[in-house]
Amino acid sequence: MAESPARTAFAEEALTHLDTLYRGALRLTRDPDQAQDLVQEAYLRALRYQHSYQPGTNMKAWLFAIMRNLFWDRFKGSRKEDVSLDDVGEFILYEKLRDEGARPEADVLDKLAASEVVEAVEKLPPLHREVVLLVDVEGFSYKDAAQTLGVPIGTVMSRLHRARQQLQRSLYDYAVESGIVHGNGAGPVPQP
Amino acid sequence: MNCNDCKDKLDRYVDRELNNTEVLELKLHLEGCPPCGDQYEFQAHMKRLVKVCCDKDTAPAAFREKLRQILL
């Protein structure tokens, strides 16, 4: 049966956001097959609820909201599984590196493997991970992120702040483990 | 603006969420305060690093085609 032109146009526009949805799903599920299942289900649901989308509003945010709600419903079972992040202190990586005499950006950040950064993001609790995905990776405003996640802007800000602190802690641990810094106050590892 | 005010607003500055007046005040502070300036550079660098490392993945072509078959 031929689809209506309006439905086809809607689907075409929705598919322009596929990479954003797929990346988000991949980071949330940490599994390519589950990510594809999640995204496919999200698109089917989006078409089913096309009437609830207001043209001219942020379709990417609307689609992402559908996808992440499905994630929480189907993959996590209960939102209570998420664990909160303790306050790990301000600028922990920055301060530690400076204390150790390293140049934080050139000596450390630029030497981290992309896979380690991705792993650090994926280690964040999902409620914090999704804020980083929206704001840092996809460039959402706080307002759009808040709308997408169904939380106040203040919650977006606090989750983002804690997520960044945790990311710094994870990356510092990696930098020590991989020998980029000594981790004992001895400064960066000399390069040959 | 003092260093504590700056620290409170640094996330929003990095995320371009401050209004024009706040941006001007913060820029002025960063120019005159090397420690805060360094922290800003570090946070901005971290944000770029996360984006660059995490936005490489794109939907596989076969999956895109499969969705087109299903949806269009």
Helices and strands in chain A, H and E counts:
9, 0
Please give the pLDDT value at position A35. 96
Please give the pLDDT value at position B29. 95
Q: Choose among B42, B56, B59: nearest Cβ to A104.
A: B42
A 10 A CB-CB count for A92 gives 16
Q: How far is A146 from chain B (nearest CA, A)?
A: 13
Please give the pLDDT value at position B58. 93
**pLDDT 10s digits, A104-117:** 777 778 888 889 99
Question: B47: part of which helix (H) or strand (E)?
Answer: helix B34-54
Q: At what angle are helices B61-71 and A5-15 packed, to 10 degrees?
A: 160
Which chain A residue is nearest to residue B14, measuring alpha carbons? A136
DSSP A181: B
pLDDT at A1 over 50: no
Q: Residue B52: its chain A contacts at CB < 8 A?
A: 114
Please give the pLDDT value at position A84. 62
CB pair distance less than 8 Å for A94 and B59: no
C-alpha span between B52 and B56 (Å, rounded): 7
C-alpha span between B11 and A80 (Å, rounded): 27
Q: Choose among A40, A136, A138: nearest Cβ to B67.
A: A40
Q: How far is A175 from chain B (nearest CA, A)?
A: 14
pLDDT band, residue A36 (cuts 50/70/90): very high
Instruction: Using alpha carbons only, give the angle A154, A27, A148 rounded to the nearest 5 degrees.
Output: 35
Q: What is the ipTM of this complex?
A: 0.91
The backbone torsions φ and ψ at residue A177, rounded to the nearest 5 degrees and listed phi first, read -60, -40
Q: Which of A113-127, A160-174, B14-28 is most confident?
A: B14-28
pLDDT at A62 over 90: yes
Share of chain B above pLDDT 70, in %: 100
pLDDT at A176 over 90: no
Question: A110: part of which helix (H) or strand (E)?
Answer: none
The backbone torsions φ and ψ at residue A181, rounded to the nearest 5 degrees and listed phi first, read -130, 160
Token pair listed for A59: 């379709």
With contact defined as beta carbons under 8 Å apart, do B37 and B30 qualify? yes
DSSP B19: -
A105 and B CB contact within 8 Å:
yes
* For range A79-89, the mean pLDDT: 58
C-alpha span between B6 and B40 (Å, rounded): 9
CB pair distance less than 8 Å for A19 and B58: yes
pLDDT at A182 over 90: no
pLDDT band, residue A77 (cuts 50/70/90): low
DSSP A151: S
A155 and B CB contact within 8 Å:
no
**pLDDT 10s digits, A114-164:** 899 999 999 999 999 999 999 999 999 999 999 999 999 999 999 999 999
Q: Residue B72: its chain A contacts at CB < 8 A?
A: 3, 8, 11-12
